Structure 1
Amino acid sequence: MGLLFDIIYGVSLPIMVMIALGWFAQRWLSLDLPTLGRLHLNITLPCFIIFHLATTEASLSSLGNIAWFTIVQFFVLFGLGWMAGRWLKTEHRHIPVIAIAIAFPNTGNYGIPLIELAFGPAYIAPQAVIMTLHSILIMSVGVLALTAGAGDWKASMKASISSPVIPAIIIGLGLNVTDIVLPTPLLFPLQMMAGAFAPLALLILGASLATADRQDVWRLAPPVMILRLLVAPILTWFACLAIGFDPVMTAFLVVNACGPVGVMLVIVCSQHENGRNVAAMSVFTTTLVAPFVATVALYLLRT
């Protein structure tokens, strides 16, 4: 019960407060969500990636197993979500949104504090690697899937590779490998913008919920919740057993798989004007339930 309280009080409730603030802000101010989405994807996200990759003290070579597992896991769950979307006979434009929602847990503003609570600060660096890989995948595979329905494959490819995420990763890794320390006039603004990543994402999520078509979204939210919070962790657990990961690493990866739908999905859907309502409600409903699922998973994996 203590861990459940810590997760809800220390992780979930602050997230819900920020979401509520975004909801009220949209009601009062009628925010321009596509512009906020572009600001988030093109400024705060690259700064977040550069800062954390450049300053991590973990050995990048030691994180290879986590990296390849995360990539394979994403594509398996993406395919499962795509099949689920077709089986649900939803609108074709919503199928890639469902697929990404199943494959893309919130490993950032939700996952990082949760992992620190459950496993300690030593696992923050592996968590940052997972979050960075998810950012790459959603900004490449995710954007390609969301825009492909328009029929212009050249435009879709351009949208997926023109993101500043890839240059940010190259810069961050380059600074880390070469042990270059940025001067304070550059490092401090970078750190401040990196700190704005999570709050801005949650504000945009709340604002998106304020404009969501609830009848359309609620029909899809339950299957997304089941696949994201139940099927994905179970498949991850079986995969960890088959590969032979040690119990702590297995618990780490399974708890990550218990995360709610990543907030960045709402940002990307807003920017490309496809399925924002489905994405927003999927994030919201899974965020409500995820703390209980993570607590049960931790209890089962530690007994």
Structure 2
Amino acid sequence: MLIDLIQLEFIMVLLVAAGIYLRRRSVITDEGRDCLSDLLTMLILPCNIFLSFEGNTDTSALKSSLLTVIISVLVMLCTAILGKVIYRHREERKAKVFRYGLVNSNALFIGLPIIQSLLGDAGVLQLSMYMIFVRMFCWSYGLSLYTGVKSDWKGSFKRLLTHPCMIAAALGVAAMVTGIRLPAFLDRTLQYVSSCLMALSMLLIGVVLSEIKLKEVFRGDVWRFTALRLGVMPGIVFGLCKLCGVPYIVTATCTLVSGMPAASLTAVLAARYHGDSELGALLVAVSTILSAVTIPLWFMILQ
């Protein structure tokens, strides 16, 4: 498990380094950065979101793993409230980045292979169930943090509902519940597009990080966020699960997933919707690197 995690960390670091190099060589310009963020949010992410629902779970699995779903709902709601309280005095441009980073973890690229390695197929099933509400929550509340649903709430709400990622999430839920599958050629087309997500999102993070001074990595607010994301949140989940006598496989899955680093979308969406993209990139980079230490520690505690 540790070797797989280290390998994954190296892959992500190399992709980020490639983004830094391409930006400093002016291969990726300011216009290219905007184009890259648009491509991710308008095409690649919707394909990935739809496929993440399709074939992952069904209604019978939902009934058998209801406890995991309930825990995921409670975690998401509590995390949203926690973000509102902790960052209520921060500048809005920065606060929404912190809040989104708390809500959305990197359960796809880092969480899935780790859960598979540590907990096997039973853990993957629980992860799939956990992510049902998480996906819907991140593409409703999470997206609204960046797009806003305040002053012109009717127009903002309409834009949120018609966003490609929201449409993809709705279609994905429908496909999951009904069991309808796309034609093979169309499904493979979506898979080819979706497979670009990790590489391009890490490149974009590298582009953003290329404009940040090294001393910024040691910012106190970034490290406090990382402690909250990797230590406090999984600690609360673990403690409550043990207190309530939750079965081991559910406790382990929920604890590990809630202790994953900030999702790369934290920086991608910040770049797309004029948030503090530099802060988003820092949150992703620092929390991802430190997760190589905290995730094995949490598994030892779970054992």
The alpha-carbon distance between structure 1 residues 149 and 56, as it changes in their structure 2 partners (threshold 3 A), is closer
1:103–1:228 CA contact under 8 A, matched in 2: no
Q: Residue 186 of structure 1 corresponds to which residue in structure 2?
A: 186
Number of equivalences: 297
Q: What does 1:79-228 correspond to in 2, within 5 Å?
A: 79-86=81-88, 90-131=90-131, 133-148=133-148, 151-212=151-212, 218-228=219-229
The alpha-carbon distance between structure 1 residues 135 and 23, as it changes in their structure 2 partners (threshold 3 A), is farther
Q: What does 1:1-303 correspond to in 2, within 5 Å?
A: 3-9=1-7, 11-28=8-25, 29-31=27-29, 32-56=32-56, 59-86=61-88, 90-131=90-131, 133-148=133-148, 151-212=151-212, 218-302=219-303
2:123–2:249 CA contact under 8 A, matched in 1: no
Structure 2, unpaired ranges of 5+: none
The code of the aligned residue for 2:6 comes to I
Q: Hey, what's the Cα distance between the residues in 1 that align with 2:149 and 2:54?
A: 37
Q: Hey, what's the Cα distance between the residues in 1 that align with 2:117 and 2:34?
A: 34
Q: Percent identity?
A: 22
Deviations 1:233-270 (A, max 9, x none): 11111232244321121111111122111111111111
Q: Hey, what's the Cα distance between the residues in 2 that align with 1:281 and 1:179?
A: 40
Q: Hey, what's the Cα distance between the residues in 1 that align with 2:176 and 2:267?
A: 30
| Matched residue SS, 1:229 | helix
The code of the aligned residue for 2:72 comes to T
The code of the aligned residue for 2:99 comes to A
| Matched residue SS, 2:54 | helix
Structure 1, unpaired ranges of 5+: none
The alpha-carbon distance between structure 1 residues 211 and 83, as it changes in their structure 2 partners (threshold 3 A), is same
TM-score by length of 1: 0.87
The alpha-carbon distance between structure 1 residues 160 and 170, as it changes in their structure 2 partners (threshold 3 A), is closer
- Aligned-pair distance for 1:90? 3.6
1:25–1:207 CA contact under 8 A, matched in 2: yes
* More displaced 10-residue stretch of structure 1: 51-60 or 70-79: 51-60
TM-score by length of 2: 0.87
The code of the aligned residue for 2:19 comes to G
The alpha-carbon distance between structure 1 residues 127 and 204, as it changes in their structure 2 partners (threshold 3 A), is farther
CA-atom RMSD, angstroms?
Answer: 2.5
Q: Hey, what's the Cα distance between the residues in 2 that align with 1:252 and 1:139?
A: 22
The code of the aligned residue for 2:247 comes to D
- Aligned-pair distance for 1:213? 6.0
